[in-house]
Homo-oligomer: A and B are copies of this chain.
């Protein structure tokens, strides 16, 4: 393992498509962004020798969708009061967030090379005072949702249309602070608030089921006054459709259960609790990069097949 260095940072800046782009174009753009973010994040974690790759990979499709096509945010005006807010409550996947922010122009890509270095701005949990686009200094679990509720309340007071999105882990929902916030959110009818749960069914040491079961999560959220939607958290099309269509019930905040796999889509990581904060070695890095490439090829192939099929059916 070599120390993280500038040559390990190779991701292109992707930016946003025109709002006139078709849904298919948006989805393809998000998919490419997610792929680039994964490639880059793997290198960061491998070379820095630390990070939370499992949780990173389970969240990256959500992050890429939000920053790629949903959030009303602009790297040139990161402090615009009317911007949407995205709060990463599961702050341990800061690596994924930094890489996403770099992919969309909030953070100079080169700066990723300082990840976890002494005195770096990029520590293991995001710091809003150092990184443009970070809305809250998270890390301790169960902080993001209350902050998001506070921001959504401010939008309501301002009679503003800005929206608030927050991404939490599923294990994280064992923290009672989240339920306090959810009760307040529905009481105040904050329908501009969307909670996305990264439902990978794993936490730090074991499955959520073994540790402290969250099911029936949909019933819990519904009883706390949320409109509940379930999506495949790795399907960019589904994510785009759901995250841009909120709220689903006027007057109700939205609870999106995004079904994911920790470590997705890497064969040896996916759904394997050991990869919560394990670091891929040289061989594992190579394998993961290769798998991401193969998947891309397969997806292209499938798309072509589907497109051909579509034509035949006509």
Contacts and interface: CB of A to CB of B under 8 A. Distances in A.
Q: Is the interface of A mostly helix, strand, loop or mixed?
A: helix
A219 B220 CA distance: 8
Contact of A222 (B176, B214, B219): B219
Contacts of A174: 180, 183
A224 interface: yes
Contacts of A180: 174-176
A142 B211 CA distance: 22
A97 to B, nearest CB: 25
Interface string A206-223: 000001111010011011
A275 interface: no
A248 interface: no
A177 interface: yes
Contacts of A178: 176
Interface string A192-234: 0000000000000000000111101001101111000000000
A211 B212 CA distance: 29
A187 B180 CA distance: 20
Contact of A223 (B186, B211, B220): B220
Interface of A: 174-180, 183-184, 186-187, 211-214, 216, 219-220, 222-225
22 contacts: A174-B183, A175-B180, A176-B176, A176-B177, A176-B178, A176-B179, A176-B180, A179-B179, A183-B212, A183-B214, A184-B212, A186-B213, A187-B211, A187-B212, A216-B223, A219-B219, A219-B222, A219-B223, A220-B220, A220-B223, A222-B223, A223-B223
The 4 closest A-B pairs by CB, nearest first: A176-B176, A219-B223, A176-B180, A179-B179
